[in-house]
Amino acid sequence: MTELKQTSLEDEIKEVAKKAGAAAVGITSKERLIDCSDPTYILPNAESVIGFIVPIDKKIIRNFLQKTDFSAQKAMSLTEGETYHKIEDIGNAIKDFLESKGYEAVNCEVNMDYRKIKRRGKKQIKQLEQLIKLAQNEPENPMIQAMKRGGMKVFNLDLTPKISHRYVGVACGLGRLGWSGNLMTPKYGARIYLGSVVTNAKLKPDPYLETNPCSKCKVCVSACQAQFFDSSETQTVKIGDIEETIGKKHTLAKCILSCGAFTGQSKFKSWSTWSPWRIEIPDDDKEAEKIVQQTFVNYILAGGEKAQNVLRLATDTQLGFSKEVKPAEEFRVTCGFCQLVCWETEEERRENAKIIRNSGVIELEKGKKVIKKL
Ligand code: SF4
Ligand code: SF4
């Protein structure tokens, strides 16, 4: 007599996630995350977290790294937007399934959702819009004068996420942290976006991934204009039973200046990100933090596209990336290089580094962005 194999709740969750578009799914207990990214912050009676990934297409990444033309940036941005929305859908499918079984579940936001930044809705965005108008129309206004003297803290730099999807990925056995601190998977490298669902269902955790796929090739370091992570100093991160040794991270202000598009160049002069603007990012972390606040003020005062860049970052942080607030067409990627260069084989990673080095620069010519091959 053949025995009928019963499908476990864990298997059913994974099937739901894969059917919705996840390339890989894993499960962790809350205990593995409690000391590094406690899921009870999101759901007080949390017991488990489901992590999942969606890879990014290689051709789209290569065109973006190579700066083939401006459509390459558009395609990368649209892919990011569509993938973020897909992750939202996968998370909702898992959440709906768990709720149908009588459990509680929270679909965590894919990005820009921080513990110390309260979502204040559209009000703060309106205020920033008014400030930008005031800077253009009434430059003598006392508030604008105070901003000019550097008397305004514009941005909170404490960006601890409500949940670290990367730590969830390690705890679920989906991958391990590479030198850059990004989640690296054996099949897709770090060219993935991540999602997580926290639930009060007590689920069996998956085994950790034993071998870290990071070869310490440091291609990620050579792709970061901001030098956000160190090339030799290390730091350790403990995620459950796994102790990861990664490149020492510097202040987030450095990544904000580069990935936030405030500058397209700093460390390397033979290529740039997709930003046409230039600011030198100092080595010293405290100095970089001062510069980020002053840059926000300067860009508001400058008006035009620079002010819109501040507005975009504030809007993303305050409102998030859900389908209702940010359509896929409105995403705009200018960096993310540390992650995008990190493919699954070292040969591919080295090729990506070469492509970036020869990709040229984005500059402004008579106010218009151009790609210049050097
Ligand atoms: S680029 Fe190289 S060093 Fe950096 S995370 Fe990937 S494999 Fe590790
Ligand atoms: S996103 Fe860009 S600036 Fe930020 S750490 Fe990665 S490469 Fe550096």
> Could you read off the pLDDT of 174-232 as tens digits, one per residue?
999 999 999 999 999 999 999 999 999 999 999 999 999 999 999 999 999 999 999 99
Return the pLDDT at 67: 97
What string of H, E and C letters represents the secondary structure of 293-310?
HHHHHHHHHHCHHHHHHH
Helix ranges restricted to H, 41-117: 58-66, 70-100
For residue 339, the ligand closest to its alpha carbon is: 2
Residue 1 lies inside a defined structural domain of this protein: no
Return the pLDDT at 148: 84
Query: Which structure tokens are listed for 65?
Result: 């790294």
Q: Count up the domains in the chain and report the number.
A: 1
Ligand 2 pocket residue status of 188, Cβ below 6 Å: no
Q: Give the span between the Cα atoms of 177 and 183, in whole angstroms.
A: 5
Residue 99 lies inside a defined structural domain of this protein: yes
14, 98 contact by CB (below 8 A) = no
Distance (Å) from CA 216 to ligand 1 centroid: 5
Residue 4 lies inside a defined structural domain of this protein: no
Distance (Å) from CA 249 to ligand 1 centroid: 14
Question: Max CA-CA distance within the chain?
Answer: 88
If you take atom 6 of ligand 2, which residue's CA is the nearest one? 338
Return the pLDDT at 305: 94
Ligand 2 pocket residue status of 228, Cβ below 6 Å: yes
Residue 292 lies inside a defined structural domain of this protein: yes
Residue 33 lies inside a defined structural domain of this protein: yes
Return the pLDDT at 2: 54
Return the pLDDT at 1: 53
Taking 50 as the pLDDT cut, the residues of the chain under it are none
Return the pLDDT at 284: 96
Query: Who contacts 93 (Cβ-Cβ below 8 Å, separation ≥6)?
Result: 16, 17, 19, 20
Return the pLDDT at 4: 63
108, 165 contact by CB (below 8 A) = yes
For residue 352, the ligand closest to its alpha carbon is: 1
- Quote the pTM value: 0.95
279, 245 contact by CB (below 8 A) = no
**Count of other CB atoms within 10 angstroms of residue 365:** 9
Residue 55 lies inside a defined structural domain of this protein: yes
Q: In terms of residue numbers, what domain contains 287?
A: 9-372
Residue 38 lies inside a defined structural domain of this protein: yes
Distance (Å) from CA 342 to ligand 1 centroid: 6
Q: Give the span between the Cα atoms of 189 and 183, in whole angstroms.
A: 8
214, 226 contact by CB (below 8 A) = no
Residue 136 lies inside a defined structural domain of this protein: yes
Which helix (H) or strand (E) segment holds residue 177: the answer is strand 176-177
